Amino acid sequence: MSSNILVSVAWPYANSLIHVGNITGSYLPADIFARFHRLRGNKVLMVSGSDSHGTPVTVRADADGTSPLEVYTQFHKGFLELFQKLGLTYDLFTSTHTENHFKVSQSIFLALEKNGYLYTDRQQQWYSPSQKRFLPDRYIEGTCYICGYTSARGDQCDQCGNLLDATELIDPRSKIDGSTPELKETEHYYLDYGKLQLDIVEFLRQREDYWRPNVVRQSLGQILADELHERAITRDLDWGIPVPIEGWKDKRLYVWFEAVIGYLSASIEWSKINDQPEAWHDWWYNAAARSYYFIGKDNIPFHAVFWPGQLIGAGDWFSKIFEEREGSSLVLPFDVPANEFMNLESQKISGSRNWAVWGLDFLSRYDPDALRYYLTANMPESRDTDWDWGDFLNRNNNELVATWGNLANRVLSFADKHWDGKVPTPGDLRPADREIIDTVESGFQTVADHIDAVQLRSGLIETMRLAAEVNKYLNHSAPWFEIKSDKSAAGTTIFTALKAIDSLNVLFSPFLPFSSERLHAYLGYDSPLFGEQYFETIVDNLGEHEVLRYRPGKASGHWEPSQLSSGQALRGPKPLFRKLDDSIVESERSRLGVPEGFQE
């Protein structure tokens, strides 16, 4: 029986480039999970997009003398290119700057209002008389009232690290023009999380047995230690989604509030552009559907507490407002498998110091499967991990190339040479042949259990262990000796090894889709394991936006043991992976921490 699986992936913020820590934190695990479930025959919907609003984008636009739209568009383009090159099979990777997302977010806002979870309140905020606008905290600089540091940011002091109340800064200045702002009263909408607390606690209690301990600690644990408070959901900004209330059109929805709504709006956009406008109901109004949120640990409260609160609070009013139909409640997250952080050469990754391995830059020198392999083998699922260039080299050469790539290559080459490029016809299988086939085929259960529980690292390690078993079998059977005295026995060995390799290839395929697709073709299959990614331009009343999509096409992969038959014509094998030279370790390390533009 097939299940409906929603794969919700963190929305990258459209004001910075993506590094390997981001990739292993959320984007790659989501893709492995989605590919696996597609192979199993489940109905998968994988969505995300660029988080395009908020002050970091406007601050950057002001600094660069450009517009927020240009900043967001430029970073969005880079995300599309990277995700396509990495093989991330988003059914839709869109953005929050779309007419559809505006409407869905405003409908959630109105549903919360209908259900009585919103209220307005007045507060003091810095206002720039010279620019005639309110200044968000990030636009203010002044002297820290805790430590006396003279260049403290409005929201946080970089010297003492304390979060600050911007209105209490001493000697405040506008970061835009240096002028002195004044305090002025403004009014905002608040979401009353106190009213939702019982429901959110109940939601978390139902999941604490199977959620990762860190996620439970940062959600249920936090609420029990310190109850939930109201949160402002509007801001005085001109970039973003207008508040859908008469007299409030000059204010915008707060980005933390609307960005998470993207999981829902992207599902709806995907349905629309597929001309099946209600298809999203199968994931969002279907209590049996399972939704997974792949995020980094810095995002846990937003996905495990605030977003479920928004969904609970909207209740069935969302469908009445958005599509004028009696609906049911929206499906709450089934799991939020947040990852910890990846460090780099034992230091925290830092974009501003260029202490990072950037996704697109990496792919200009190495293959995507080498990256996917290392990031999965080293995935920070239960604790922080470290990207170490020496470790990357060793794992690439000793595991990916030596244990898996060479295994496939030497068996295919041997069949090519001695059986005229065809799968040999076996004699009766001997106990050792049957045993290795059983061993590898047991992986369809054990590896599946790991991936289904979002233990991707264990799933990959188990698959590599099975590949090592096939190497042992081959070394023990030694077909290169067998063939000198008994070609039929050697044929049985090669048949068995090819069958095992074919099964292993399916087990590896969610992790290593590029090399798996090639090996699948070398094994003589005509249709691919997976479908294809493609770009599309969507036009709406806000303009146009480019999206990355996935279609199954001729995909024929199934999560099941090899059905390889004797006589099948193989295709000339080529090595699956590149062995890397030891010298890359020093050359890559020398790039770290060097400001951009100063590299050779």
Q: How far is the CB of 55 from Zn ion (least distance, A)?
A: 21
| Residue 590 binds Zn ion (CB under 5 A) | no
Shortest distance, CB of residue 156 to Zn ion, whole angstroms? Answer: 9
Binding-site string for Zn ion from residue 547 to residue 586, where x marks contact by CB under 5 A and - marks none = ----------------------------------------
Residue 174: CB minimum distance to Zn ion, A: 20
Q: Please check whether residue 414 is in contact with residue 474, taking contact to mean a CB–CB distance below 8 angstroms.
A: no
Residue 151 or 425: which CB sits closer to Zn ion?
Answer: 151
Based on CB atoms, which residue is closest to Zn ion, 149 or 285?
149
Q: What are 135's two structure tokens?
A: 């200044």
151 vs 398 by CB, closer to Zn ion: 151
Q: Among 129-137, 150-158, 200-208, 299-307, which window interacts with Zn ion (CB under 5 A)?
A: 150-158
- The number of residues making up the chain comes to 600
| DSSP helix/strand/coil, 114 | helix
**Looking at beta carbons only, is 144 or 507 nearer to Zn ion?**
144
Give 337-368 as a DSSP string.
--B--EEETTB--BTTTTBS-BHHHHHTTS-H
Binding part of the chain for Zn ion, among 22-30, 148-156, 381-389, 502-510 by CB under 5 A, reads: 148-156
Closest contact distance (angstroms) between CB of 36 and Zn ion is 47
1 by DSSP, 3-state: which? coil
Half-sphere exposure of 284 (CA within 13 A, CB side): 27
Buried b (16+ CB within 10 A) or exposed e, 557-579: bebebbebeeeeebeebeebbee
Q: How far is the CB of 168 from Zn ion (least distance, A)?
A: 12
Cβ nearer to Zn ion, comparing 160 with 183:
160
Question: What's the rounded Cα separation, in Å, for the pair 468 and 27?
Answer: 28
- Region of 247 (left: φ > 0; alpha: ψ -120 to 50; beta: rest) is left
The nearest distance, CB 127 to Zn ion, in angstroms, is: 24
- Is 149 a binding residue for Zn ion by CB under 5 A? The answer is yes
Q: Please give the C-alpha separations between residue 468 and each of 404, 462, 463, 530, in angstroms, as whole numbers.
A: 8, 10, 9, 26
Nearest distance from C-beta of residue 143 to Zn ion, angstroms:
9
By CB under 5 A, is residue 146 in contact with Zn ion? yes
Could you give the C-alpha distances from 412 to 29, 403, 429, 497, 507, in angstroms and in order?
31, 15, 20, 9, 18
CB of 137 to Zn ion, least distance (A): 15
Pick from 14, 80, 157, 259 the residue near Zn ion by CB under 5 A.
157
Say which residues have a Cβ less than 8 Å from residue 105's Cβ, sequence separation at least 6.
241, 253, 257, 258, 261, 265
What span, in angstroms and rounded, lies between the C-alpha atoms of 174 and 143? 13
Q: Where are the alpha helices (DSSP H) in 442-508?
A: 443-452, 456-477, 479-485, 487-508
Q: Where does 329-442 have alpha helices with state H?
A: 359-363, 368-377, 389-394, 406-418, 431-441
Query: Is residue 397 exposed (0-12), middle (13-18) or buried (19+ Cβ within 10 Å)?
Result: middle
Q: Which of 8, 224, 78 is nearest to 548 (CA)?
A: 78
Of 303-332, binders to Zn ion (CB under 5 A) are: none
Q: Render 161-182 in DSSP notation, one character per residue.
A: --B--GGG-EEEEETTT-PPPE
**Minimum separation from the CB atom of position 177 to Zn ion (A):** 24
Compare residues 146 and 273 and give the one whose CB is closer to Zn ion: 146
- In the window 116-145, what residues touch Zn ion (CB under 5 A)? 144
Give residues 159-188 in contact with Zn ion (rule: CB under 5 A). Answer: 159-160
Looking at the Cβ atoms of 159 and 442, the one nearer to Zn ion is: 159
Kindly identify the residues of this chain, within the stretch 328-367, that bind Zn ion according to CB under 5 A: none
- Which stretch, 107-115, 157-165, 326-334, 587-595, contacts Zn ion (CB under 5 A)? 157-165
Contact 535, 548 (CB under 8 A): yes
β-partners of residue 361 are none
> For Zn ion, which residue of 63, 147, 183, 453 counts as binding (CB under 5 A)?
147
Smallest gap from residue 158 Cβ to Zn ion (A): 8
Q: Report the nearest approach of Zn ion to the CB of residue 170 (Å).
A: 11
By DSSP bridging, strand 252-253 and strand 234-235 are antiparallel
Nearer to Zn ion, 160 or 478 (CB): 160
Piece of 51-59, 147-155, 172-180, 582-590 that binds Zn ion (CB under 5 A): 147-155
Identity of the residue, 143 or 556, whose beta carbon is nearer to Zn ion in the bound complex: 143
Nearer to Zn ion by C-beta: 168 or 486?
168
| 3-state secondary structure at position 202 | helix
User: For residues 145 and 256, which CB has a smaller minimum distance to Zn ion in the complex?
Assistant: 145
Per-residue x/- track, 428-467, Zn ion (CB under 5 A): ----------------------------------------
Complex with Zn ion: residue 168 or 596, whichever CB lies closer? 168
What are the tokens at 525? 């299959």
The site for Zn ion, by CB under 5 A, has a size of 7
Q: From the CB of 259, what's the least distance to Zn ion, in Å?
A: 29
Q: Which is nearer to Zn ion, 150 or 599 (CB)?
A: 150
What are the residues binding Zn ion (CB under 5 A)? 144, 146-147, 149, 157, 159-160
